[in-house]
Amino acid sequence: MENFLISVIILTHNRKEALINALKSVYSQTYKKLEVIIIDDCSDYNLESILKENFKNYVYLRNHNRMGVSFSRNRGLKAANGDYITFLDDDDIWEKDKLELQLQTALVLKKDVFLFCNDFSVRDKKYGWDRSIKSGFINFKKDKFYLTISFTPPSCWFLSRNIISSIGYFDENLTVYEDLDYLVRILEKYPAYYLDKVLVKSGFCLNHLSSLSMDNIKSRVSFLKKHFCKIKRDKNYMFRFYYNLGKDYLRLKVKKDARKFFLKAFILKPYKIELLFKFLKTFI
Protein backbone atom coordinates (compact mmCIF):
# COMPACT_ATOMS: atom_id res chain seq x y z
CA MET A 1 0.00 0.00 0.00
CA GLU A 2 2.96 2.34 0.59
CA ASN A 3 3.59 2.48 -3.17
CA PHE A 4 0.91 5.16 -3.66
CA LEU A 5 1.77 8.84 -3.35
CA ILE A 6 -0.93 11.05 -1.81
CA SER A 7 -0.81 14.77 -2.53
CA VAL A 8 -2.14 17.03 0.22
CA ILE A 9 -3.12 20.52 -1.01
CA ILE A 10 -3.48 23.08 1.79
CA LEU A 11 -4.76 26.62 1.26
CA THR A 12 -3.98 29.37 3.75
CA HIS A 13 -4.25 33.11 4.26
CA ASN A 14 -3.27 34.94 7.47
CA ARG A 15 -3.97 31.98 9.77
CA LYS A 16 -0.53 30.78 10.77
CA GLU A 17 -1.56 29.25 14.11
CA ALA A 18 -4.40 27.31 12.53
CA LEU A 19 -2.15 26.26 9.65
CA ILE A 20 0.47 24.88 12.03
CA ASN A 21 -2.20 22.74 13.72
CA ALA A 22 -3.47 21.56 10.34
CA LEU A 23 0.05 20.64 9.23
CA LYS A 24 0.74 18.80 12.47
CA SER A 25 -2.29 16.61 11.71
CA VAL A 26 -0.86 15.90 8.25
CA TYR A 27 2.62 14.99 9.45
CA SER A 28 1.06 12.78 12.14
CA GLN A 29 -0.71 10.61 9.56
CA THR A 30 -0.12 6.87 9.87
CA TYR A 31 0.29 6.78 6.09
CA LYS A 32 3.62 8.43 5.33
CA LYS A 33 4.11 8.62 1.57
CA LEU A 34 2.83 12.17 1.21
CA GLU A 35 3.45 15.21 -0.94
CA VAL A 36 2.48 18.32 1.05
CA ILE A 37 1.70 21.40 -1.05
CA ILE A 38 1.00 24.68 0.77
CA ILE A 39 -0.61 27.49 -1.21
CA ASP A 40 -0.25 30.85 0.55
CA ASP A 41 -2.85 33.25 -0.83
CA CYS A 42 -0.71 36.33 -0.16
CA SER A 43 -0.56 36.39 3.64
CA ASP A 44 0.49 39.66 5.26
CA TYR A 45 3.67 38.19 6.78
CA ASN A 46 6.58 35.92 5.86
CA LEU A 47 4.86 32.58 6.20
CA GLU A 48 7.70 30.68 4.55
CA SER A 49 10.12 31.49 7.38
CA ILE A 50 7.57 30.27 9.94
CA LEU A 51 7.14 27.01 8.02
CA LYS A 52 10.89 26.46 7.83
CA GLU A 53 11.12 26.71 11.62
CA ASN A 54 8.51 24.01 12.15
CA PHE A 55 8.33 21.60 9.21
CA LYS A 56 10.30 19.85 6.47
CA ASN A 57 9.50 18.17 3.18
CA TYR A 58 6.81 20.39 1.72
CA VAL A 59 6.25 22.50 -1.39
CA TYR A 60 5.51 26.16 -0.63
CA LEU A 61 3.83 28.32 -3.28
CA ARG A 62 2.89 31.93 -2.61
CA ASN A 63 0.41 33.98 -4.63
CA HIS A 64 1.74 37.51 -5.12
CA ASN A 65 -1.82 38.87 -4.94
CA ARG A 66 -5.03 37.59 -3.34
CA MET A 67 -6.28 35.14 -5.97
CA GLY A 68 -8.98 33.23 -4.09
CA VAL A 69 -9.81 29.63 -3.39
CA SER A 70 -10.28 28.31 -6.93
CA PHE A 71 -7.04 29.75 -8.32
CA SER A 72 -5.13 28.51 -5.28
CA ARG A 73 -6.56 24.99 -5.42
CA ASN A 74 -5.84 24.86 -9.13
CA ARG A 75 -2.27 25.94 -8.52
CA GLY A 76 -1.97 23.07 -6.06
CA LEU A 77 -3.50 20.61 -8.53
CA LYS A 78 -1.05 21.67 -11.23
CA ALA A 79 1.85 21.07 -8.83
CA ALA A 80 0.56 17.75 -7.49
CA ASN A 81 2.21 14.48 -8.50
CA GLY A 82 0.19 12.10 -6.34
CA ASP A 83 -1.74 9.00 -7.35
CA TYR A 84 -4.43 10.39 -5.05
CA ILE A 85 -5.30 14.00 -4.27
CA THR A 86 -6.66 15.46 -1.04
CA PHE A 87 -7.47 18.96 0.18
CA LEU A 88 -7.16 20.43 3.65
CA ASP A 89 -8.41 23.86 4.73
CA ASP A 90 -6.09 25.60 7.14
CA ASP A 91 -8.73 25.71 9.91
CA ASP A 92 -9.39 21.95 9.78
CA ILE A 93 -7.43 19.03 11.19
CA TRP A 94 -7.34 15.34 10.30
CA GLU A 95 -7.48 12.32 12.54
CA LYS A 96 -4.17 10.46 12.27
CA ASP A 97 -5.58 7.51 10.28
CA LYS A 98 -7.62 9.59 7.82
CA LEU A 99 -5.49 9.01 4.75
CA GLU A 100 -4.69 5.38 5.55
CA LEU A 101 -8.36 4.46 5.93
CA GLN A 102 -9.40 6.31 2.79
CA LEU A 103 -6.62 4.77 0.72
CA GLN A 104 -7.51 1.30 2.01
CA THR A 105 -11.13 1.90 1.03
CA ALA A 106 -10.19 3.18 -2.43
CA LEU A 107 -8.02 0.12 -3.08
CA VAL A 108 -10.75 -2.28 -1.93
CA LEU A 109 -13.31 -0.62 -4.21
CA LYS A 110 -10.93 -1.05 -7.18
CA LYS A 111 -12.47 1.75 -9.22
CA ASP A 112 -12.53 5.52 -9.38
CA VAL A 113 -15.10 6.90 -6.95
CA PHE A 114 -15.74 10.16 -5.16
CA LEU A 115 -14.72 9.04 -1.69
CA PHE A 116 -15.60 11.15 1.35
CA CYS A 117 -15.76 10.75 5.13
CA ASN A 118 -17.61 12.53 7.91
CA ASP A 119 -16.49 15.61 9.81
CA PHE A 120 -17.36 17.30 13.08
CA SER A 121 -17.65 21.09 13.08
CA VAL A 122 -16.09 22.52 16.23
CA ARG A 123 -17.70 25.87 15.48
CA ASP A 124 -21.24 24.57 14.88
CA LYS A 125 -21.07 21.56 17.24
CA LYS A 126 -22.52 19.19 14.69
CA TYR A 127 -21.58 16.45 12.26
CA GLY A 128 -21.45 17.17 8.55
CA TRP A 129 -23.18 13.92 7.61
CA ASP A 130 -26.08 11.99 9.10
CA ARG A 131 -24.52 9.59 11.64
CA SER A 132 -27.25 7.03 11.00
CA ILE A 133 -25.96 6.46 7.44
CA LYS A 134 -23.44 3.65 7.14
CA SER A 135 -20.56 3.19 4.73
CA GLY A 136 -21.56 2.53 1.15
CA PHE A 137 -22.38 3.97 -2.25
CA ILE A 138 -24.79 6.92 -2.37
CA ASN A 139 -27.93 6.37 -4.43
CA PHE A 140 -29.30 9.53 -6.04
CA LYS A 141 -32.97 9.87 -6.94
CA LYS A 142 -33.58 10.87 -10.55
CA ASP A 143 -35.87 13.74 -9.59
CA LYS A 144 -33.45 15.19 -7.02
CA PHE A 145 -30.43 17.40 -7.54
CA TYR A 146 -27.15 15.99 -6.26
CA LEU A 147 -26.78 18.68 -3.61
CA THR A 148 -30.09 17.86 -1.96
CA ILE A 149 -27.70 15.69 0.05
CA SER A 150 -25.44 17.90 2.15
CA PHE A 151 -21.95 16.62 1.38
CA THR A 152 -19.03 17.16 3.72
CA PRO A 153 -16.37 19.79 2.77
CA PRO A 154 -13.23 19.27 0.64
CA SER A 155 -11.11 18.42 3.70
CA CYS A 156 -13.08 15.15 3.77
CA TRP A 157 -12.56 14.27 0.10
CA PHE A 158 -10.20 11.66 -1.37
CA LEU A 159 -9.83 11.68 -5.16
CA SER A 160 -7.86 9.56 -7.59
CA ARG A 161 -5.56 11.09 -10.16
CA ASN A 162 -7.89 9.72 -12.87
CA ILE A 163 -10.82 11.73 -11.51
CA ILE A 164 -8.78 14.93 -11.37
CA SER A 165 -7.53 14.39 -14.93
CA SER A 166 -11.08 13.80 -16.15
CA ILE A 167 -12.81 16.67 -14.32
CA GLY A 168 -10.12 19.32 -14.66
CA TYR A 169 -9.81 22.41 -12.50
CA PHE A 170 -12.00 24.49 -10.20
CA ASP A 171 -13.98 27.28 -11.85
CA GLU A 172 -12.00 30.45 -11.15
CA ASN A 173 -14.98 32.64 -12.07
CA LEU A 174 -16.79 31.52 -8.90
CA THR A 175 -15.97 33.25 -5.62
CA VAL A 176 -18.34 30.92 -3.73
CA TYR A 177 -19.88 27.54 -4.58
CA GLU A 178 -16.63 26.61 -6.33
CA ASP A 179 -16.40 23.40 -4.29
CA LEU A 180 -20.06 22.55 -4.94
CA ASP A 181 -19.58 23.18 -8.65
CA TYR A 182 -16.57 20.86 -8.68
CA LEU A 183 -18.52 18.25 -6.74
CA VAL A 184 -21.45 18.33 -9.18
CA ARG A 185 -19.06 17.86 -12.08
CA ILE A 186 -17.55 14.83 -10.34
CA LEU A 187 -20.91 13.27 -9.50
CA GLU A 188 -22.03 13.55 -13.12
CA LYS A 189 -19.29 11.08 -14.05
CA TYR A 190 -18.37 9.06 -10.97
CA PRO A 191 -20.19 7.23 -8.16
CA ALA A 192 -19.96 8.56 -4.59
CA TYR A 193 -18.87 6.36 -1.70
CA TYR A 194 -19.28 7.41 1.93
CA LEU A 195 -16.85 6.13 4.56
CA ASP A 196 -18.67 6.13 7.89
CA LYS A 197 -15.81 7.56 9.95
CA VAL A 198 -15.42 11.00 11.56
CA LEU A 199 -11.91 11.70 10.30
CA VAL A 200 -11.98 15.51 10.12
CA LYS A 201 -12.52 18.22 12.71
CA SER A 202 -13.46 21.43 10.95
CA GLY A 203 -14.17 25.10 11.55
CA PHE A 204 -11.62 26.04 14.21
CA CYS A 205 -11.52 29.65 12.97
CA LEU A 206 -14.48 32.01 13.16
CA ASN A 207 -13.45 34.23 10.24
CA HIS A 208 -14.55 32.32 7.18
CA LEU A 209 -13.77 33.06 3.54
CA SER A 210 -17.40 33.50 2.54
CA SER A 211 -19.46 36.57 3.36
CA LEU A 212 -22.50 38.21 1.87
CA SER A 213 -21.53 40.43 -1.04
CA MET A 214 -22.69 41.17 -4.56
CA ASP A 215 -19.77 39.18 -5.99
CA ASN A 216 -20.76 36.13 -3.97
CA ILE A 217 -24.42 36.42 -4.93
CA LYS A 218 -23.42 36.74 -8.59
CA SER A 219 -21.34 33.58 -8.23
CA ARG A 220 -24.38 31.71 -6.90
CA VAL A 221 -26.42 32.97 -9.85
CA SER A 222 -23.64 31.76 -12.18
CA PHE A 223 -23.71 28.37 -10.46
CA LEU A 224 -27.48 28.23 -10.99
CA LYS A 225 -27.18 29.05 -14.69
CA LYS A 226 -24.32 26.58 -15.15
CA HIS A 227 -26.26 23.65 -13.68
CA PHE A 228 -29.82 24.78 -14.43
CA CYS A 229 -30.67 21.76 -16.58
CA LYS A 230 -29.90 19.48 -13.64
CA ILE A 231 -31.32 21.71 -10.90
CA LYS A 232 -34.69 22.32 -12.57
CA ARG A 233 -35.74 18.67 -12.13
CA ASP A 234 -35.73 19.22 -8.36
CA LYS A 235 -38.54 21.66 -7.55
CA ASN A 236 -37.73 21.89 -3.84
CA TYR A 237 -34.04 22.63 -4.39
CA MET A 238 -34.90 25.20 -7.04
CA PHE A 239 -37.39 26.88 -4.71
CA ARG A 240 -34.86 27.15 -1.88
CA PHE A 241 -32.23 28.50 -4.25
CA TYR A 242 -34.54 31.22 -5.60
CA TYR A 243 -35.85 32.07 -2.13
CA ASN A 244 -32.38 32.41 -0.59
CA LEU A 245 -31.18 34.56 -3.48
CA GLY A 246 -34.20 36.81 -2.97
CA LYS A 247 -33.48 37.12 0.77
CA ASP A 248 -29.82 37.97 0.21
CA TYR A 249 -30.54 40.53 -2.50
CA LEU A 250 -33.05 42.11 -0.10
CA ARG A 251 -30.45 42.20 2.68
CA LEU A 252 -28.18 44.13 0.31
CA LYS A 253 -31.13 46.38 -0.58
CA VAL A 254 -31.06 45.35 -4.24
CA LYS A 255 -34.83 45.23 -4.33
CA LYS A 256 -35.38 44.74 -8.06
CA ASP A 257 -33.38 41.51 -8.12
CA ALA A 258 -34.86 40.40 -4.80
CA ARG A 259 -38.33 40.85 -6.27
CA LYS A 260 -37.36 38.82 -9.35
CA PHE A 261 -36.19 35.80 -7.36
CA PHE A 262 -39.07 35.93 -4.86
CA LEU A 263 -41.42 35.87 -7.84
CA LYS A 264 -39.63 32.85 -9.33
CA ALA A 265 -39.94 31.08 -5.97
CA PHE A 266 -43.62 32.03 -5.68
CA ILE A 267 -44.37 30.54 -9.10
CA LEU A 268 -42.95 27.23 -7.89
CA LYS A 269 -44.82 27.29 -4.56
CA PRO A 270 -47.69 29.83 -4.62
CA TYR A 271 -49.06 28.54 -1.32
CA LYS A 272 -46.05 29.84 0.64
CA ILE A 273 -47.64 32.83 2.40
CA GLU A 274 -44.34 34.12 3.83
CA LEU A 275 -43.19 34.71 0.26
CA LEU A 276 -45.92 37.26 -0.24
CA PHE A 277 -44.64 39.33 2.68
CA LYS A 278 -41.06 39.11 1.40
CA PHE A 279 -42.22 40.13 -2.07
CA LEU A 280 -44.12 43.15 -0.70
CA LYS A 281 -41.03 44.29 1.26
CA THR A 282 -39.23 44.81 -2.05
CA PHE A 283 -41.60 47.71 -2.80
CA ILE A 284 -41.01 49.53 0.48
Considering the domain architecture, whether residues 163 and 270 belong to the same structural domain is answered as no
User: Residue 279 belongs to what H/E stretch?
Assistant: helix 273-281
Considering the domain architecture, whether residues 218 and 198 belong to the same structural domain is answered as no
Look up residue 209 and give its DSSP letter.
Answer: S
Domain hosting residue 269, numbered range: 214-281
Closest CA to 215 of 175, 255, 260: 175
> From first to last of its 284 residues, what are the pLDDT tens digits of the chain?
679 999 999 999 999 999 999 999 999 999 999 999 999 999 999 999 999 999 999 999 999 999 999 999 999 999 999 999 999 999 999 999 999 999 999 999 989 999 999 999 887 777 877 777 889 999 988 888 998 887 899 999 999 999 999 999 999 999 999 999 999 999 999 999 999 999 999 876 755 545 789 999 999 999 999 999 999 999 999 999 999 999 999 999 999 999 999 999 999 999 888 888 888 889 98
Considering the domain architecture, whether residues 68 and 197 belong to the same structural domain is answered as yes
In a domain, residue 1? The reply is no
Considering the domain architecture, whether residues 224 and 88 belong to the same structural domain is answered as no
State the total domains in the chain: 2
Distance between CA 212 and CA 18 in Å, rounded? 24
